[in-house]
Amino acid sequence: MINNKGQSLLEVIVALAIFALISATMVSLSTGGFVSMDVGGEQTEAQALVGEGMEAIRTIRDRAWNELIFTTSSITTSSGQWIFSGENTTAQLGDYTRTIVIEPVCRDVSNNIDTCPGFYTDIQTKKITSQIDWPVRNTTNTVKQVTYLTNWDSLNWIQTDWSGGNSQSIWSDITKYDSDDNNIDFSQIGIVQLKNTTSSACGIKVWDFNTSTDFNYDLEKIIVTSSLVQLVDQGGGFCSGTATACNTFSGQVSCQTQDGCFWGGGISSSTVNSNFNLWPASWLIGSDSGATYSRQSTGGNPTGYYRGVFPSTRGVIYAYYLRQPFIVNSAISSATISFDHIVSQYTGPADSIKFYVYVDPTSGSYGTPVWTSDNQTGTTTWTSVTNIDVTNKIVGPGTYYLKVRGVVDYQNTGDTQSYTLGLDNVLLNWTMPGNICSGIATTCNTYSIQTDCQGSTGQDGCYWANTATYPSDRPSINPIASHTVDNINTWSSFSEIATKNGGEIYYQLSDDEGSTWQYWDGVDWSVATGIGNYNISSVINTNLSFFSTSTANIMFKAFLESDGLQLVQLDKIEIGCAQAQDSTFDSSIDYSYDDTKIEFVSGTAQLKDQGGDDGFCSGVATACDTYSTSLTCSEQGSCLWVGGISSSTVNSSFNTSLGSWLFGSDSGATYSRQSIGGNPTGYYRGVFPSTRGVIYAYYLRQPFIVNSAISSATISFDHIVSQYTGPADSIKFFVYVDTVPSSYGTPVWVSATQTATTTWISETNINATSKITGPGTYYLKVRGVVDYKNTGPLQSYTLGMDNVLLTWTKNNSCSGIATACNTYSVQTDCQGPTGQAGCVWNSSASYDINLPTVNPVLSQVVSTSSLSSWSSFSEIATKNGGEIYYQLSDDDGSTWQYWDGAGWSTVSGVSDYNIATVVNTNINYFSTSTGSIMFRAFLESNGTQLVQLDNVRVGWGEITGNTGYATFGYLVSSAYNMSPSADGSPVQILSWNEDLNSCSGCDIKMQVRVAPDASGSPGTWGDWYGAGGVDTYYTDPMAVLLPTDLNWKQWVQYRVDLSGDGATSPVLQDVTVNYK
């Protein structure tokens, strides 16, 4: 047997392979371990950087909530504190990139966080994401943290009552404020609105049709009901009205006869939303003296609850409250209250901590509590209070208020303490005694049979109405009495509120108690003499300023037009008037000025010439046509004596337009220029469609000026009838030459009656010489008139006019254009026996350059009982490159004010004044408290500019008993001390509650400003801020972040502007300023 003791080659190879594999594995494991150690270290560093970013945001949040204005921003340090680097910035930290994202938070109706836009945006909450990204082996690793931050430690300055009035510069009485413009009504607890006064002053008169006996109308065709004018239904049938409410019936039979009602007893009712699942639905919430309050979604008994936080408490009585109104419709047999309360934070003893419950008949002040808790001396769990008897507080039908308060009374000088209180499940139940009628009565429009609707078996409160058909003959309505104002410069506006349903409403006006009625005829106000002599409201409004003010009264007549099926309703008419006073500078003794620098010349206040070495020729050269002889004419430079010159009207052929012609129609004819079909090209066409029972007309009118006596005047024109479907009473063309633009005098030519279509017919040499009696303005007028008043079939007609021309020839006259005065450089050529008539030689002008002033001696005064606001400021001036500036005074010139960009301020510097347009834009903010106003004008020249002031007009609006409210008013709050620290506080959020429901044209806007402390009072106030920065306004009452420019001052103040339509007023209910 052979004994083999060595190793084969194959074994050696296998052994080497196994060794190599094990060695490679060991190397790989070792290398991977090093990589894992590196990655783990990077992960730890990234998490630290993420956390650092999140803590930096918390630090910024704790400093000032309104610094969180960015969507994506990196952070850095400055002066030892974290700050944002700016929008769309990220931080590169070695290999790491840090991104911080700030997102808005939205909530649903239950106040739970929801995907935006949700039910509303919660400005007190932000979603923060801090993220680190870094590269690892061709990929990117990410670590992020996400959290929600809230404005949890802020304070609120809340004002809910202004009834204490103004003149409180520093906040102490919570019912007062600093100042207003005398147009604010603060008399009602809990609201501010525009002032409501009564007078017959010049303002906006409103006819709201509340009282039918105040109007003239046909009762068979028009009804005035529910503050509405409408056409009367003439027939048909449907059930209308309002079914009598069930609780009206006191007997079982009458109750059960009314559909939808049932007879029963012992019915209970209660307040709502006791567990605060909806917030703050039905509850009015708030605090006194600085406690913060909010709904918490968890921690209640068992879910949400209403929390009050009393931080840093000492030396004051704090309270937070709930209040809910409820209506009781009858006597009650019992009423009880139950609620839960808790003290969840208690850092040390106070004088007392108690809960109070009230049932009061008013919303504001507190009566005697119906229940008071024991003094709370430590933290508690939820404590339930039941069966608080309040039966004796509900004394009969009416509105009552359930109120619950948590009050911390800690007025001693001990250590500062903090407390947190909670309320939940707040409910008041009441039970009505005996048998009552309940339910909801079936509405009238449910019934389609007359006996079910009305009568012994019908529904009480319902009535049967005929199928709607309405009068189609335009019945009218007008007030019995005119509207009369004390003083007026012009009627300024006319508006309607109406529902026309395809119909229309037309109007006429009267200034003589309805004896005569007028309409706008396209040129002027004319007496209405025929059908169709009226206008729609927009035409009345456009031309109302031309309506006579001589009687200071006005009346309207409204015509309601329907096709028989259209229900036309008129809800409101408003007519406005305006007043103004002019300073005309006619009498120098009425003004205060330096007569060495300013002079009064021909009704102007102008700079006085201070003298000079050279001179110039000025004035207006006497016009050539002034001269009536050849000798005097030829002596005037550039004038020429001629005779027999002819002139004419213009644009006779209408080839390109109707320029220079005034054109229109009466009673519905349509009119237009046609570019072809004339004689031979364009012409003026009138179309009379569907004609019957009326006189239609269309017209042309052109003014022309005659400068001297004439020897002859003739008219020529062409006319055509291109459509004629049947006979009318008459179809004629009329030609006039009149001295007034509107009404028609005796025609100079009348055509024969047109009885069929025609070709173009030319009329020539119509003699109009006798109509032009001397120099003056005249009016050439041509009319096409269709008179078809009988009751035959409807007809249609089309008329045309072309080549309308009036030519006149002058007598011998002086013609040309006199050489202008400034042409002459030699005094003898300018003025004197050989000079140009009308020209004056002036020594070289030199004017004062130190802005000399002129102002009236006496103020313009308007009664404060009727003055709403100063409304306008305008000048008429010749400045020649100079300027005029103004200041205003409301105390007869003792102090002067100017517009500083945010308000009217007392003048303190040499350039504290404004140009007229700036004064006009802001004069409605100028105080009306004294009812007086005075201007001071500064005439600015560079020494060569002659500045002349001819007129200054100041306008005002008055509060009228008919409009009810001022159209503008403002209020400035007291100054509020946010912090005892000289470092100041951030002022973060502004919000307010308003009611504009009754006034679509109303608005409320606000501004905020801040000031540093100056020995316990506000120092110099900064600018007023709004949404767009300095001198703008906040217009959204929902909470908005305030700019950081307002941070770190000690005092804050708000201003509110109220704008109305004169008929109603916006209502401000509360204002909240959030700060730290």
Residue 631: predicted pLDDT: 78
Distance CA(591)–CA(710), nearest Å, equals 48
Q: What is the 3-state secondary structure of 782-804?
A: EEEEEEECCCCCCEEEEEEEEEE
Residue 277: predicted pLDDT: 79
Greater pLDDT, 1021 or 280: 1021
Greater pLDDT, 1049 or 260: 1049
Distance CA(353)–CA(342), nearest Å, equals 11
User: pLDDT band for position 5 (50/70/90)?
Assistant: very low
Q: Express each pLDDT in 1030-1043 by its tens digit.
A: 999 999 998 899 99
Q: 846 — phi, psi (to 5°)? A: -140, 120
Distance CA(285)–CA(305), nearest Å, equals 13
Instruction: Decide if pLDDT at 319 tops 80.
Output: yes
Structure tokens at 790: 């009988």
Distance CA(522)–CA(742), nearest Å, equals 8
Q: Could you write out the DSSP letters of every residue in 10-55?
A: HHHHHHHHHHHHHHHHHHHHHHHHHHHHHHHHHHHHHHHHHHHHHH
CATH code assigned to 156-195+967-1075: 2.60.120
Distance CA(589)–CA(858), nearest Å, equals 11
pLDDT, mean of residues 389-405: 93
Burial of 529 (0-12, 13-18, 19+ CB in 10 A): exposed
Distance CA(407)–CA(8), nearest Å, equals 101
Distance CA(891)–CA(932), nearest Å, equals 7
CATH code assigned to 268-433: 2.60.120.260
Q: Residue-wise over 910-929: b if at least 16 C-beta within 10 A, else e?
A: eebbbebebbbebbbbbbbe
Residue 490: predicted pLDDT: 78
Distance CA(768)–CA(399), nearest Å, equals 81
Structure tokens at 913: 């004044």
Instruction: Decide if pLDDT at 227 tops 90.
Output: no
How far does the chain reach from its first CA to its final CA, in angstroms?
105
Residue 691: predicted pLDDT: 67
Within 8 A by CB and 6+ apart from 829, the residues are 617, 835, 836
Residue tagged 């229109």 (tokens): 664
Q: Express each pLDDT in 792-822 by its tens digit.
A: 788 889 999 999 999 988 777 777 889 999 8
Residue 962: predicted pLDDT: 47
- Whole-prediction pTM value? 0.36
**Single-letter code of the amino acid located at 865:** S
- Nearest in space to 503 (alpha carbons), one of 465, 466, 468: 468
The number of angstroms, rounded, from the C-alpha of 631 to the middle of its chain's C-alpha atoms is 66
Q: 187 — phi, psi (to 5°)? A: -70, -25
Q: Beta partners for 1034? A: 1006
The number of angstroms, rounded, from the C-alpha of 46 to the middle of its chain's C-alpha atoms is 54
Structure tokens at 726: 């049947």
* Average pLDDT over the chain, rounded to an integer: 88
Distance CA(908)–CA(926), nearest Å, equals 18
Distance CA(970)–CA(166), nearest Å, equals 12
Q: Is the dihedral of CA 38, 42, 48, 51 positive or negative?
A: negative
SS3 content of the chain, % helix, strand, coil (to 5): 10, 45, 45
Residue 935: predicted pLDDT: 98
Helices (H), 434-475: 450-453
Distance CA(694)–CA(488), nearest Å, equals 38
Instruction: Decide if pLDDT at 764 tops 90.
Output: yes
CA distances, 789 to each of 531, 598, 724, 925 (Å): 11, 68, 16, 58
Q: Express each pLDDT in 409-464 by its tens digit.
A: 887 767 888 899 999 999 999 887 767 777 788 999 888 777 788 877 789 999 87
Q: CATH says 584-610+847-958 is which class?
A: mainly beta
Q: Is the dihedral of CA 179, 185, 191, 194 positive or negative?
A: negative
Instruction: Decide if pLDDT at 30 tops 50.
Output: no
Q: Express each pLDDT in 663-702 by its tens digit.
A: 988 877 889 999 999 999 999 999 988 767 778 888 999 9
Structure tokens at 939: 């005439």
Distance CA(145)–CA(131), nearest Å, equals 6
Q: Could you write out the DSSP letters of every residue in 886-916?
A: EEEESSTTSS-EEE-SSSEEE--STT--EEH
| C-beta of residue 816 within 8 angstroms of C-beta of residue 639 | yes
Distance CA(94)–CA(82), nearest Å, equals 19
User: pLDDT band for position 1059 (50/70/90)?
Assistant: very high
Distance CA(62)–CA(517), nearest Å, equals 72
Q: Per CATH, is 646-811 categorized as 2.60.120.200?
A: yes
| C-beta of residue 1008 within 8 angstroms of C-beta of residue 1052 | yes
Distance CA(178)–CA(622), nearest Å, equals 62
Distance CA(206)–CA(962), nearest Å, equals 6
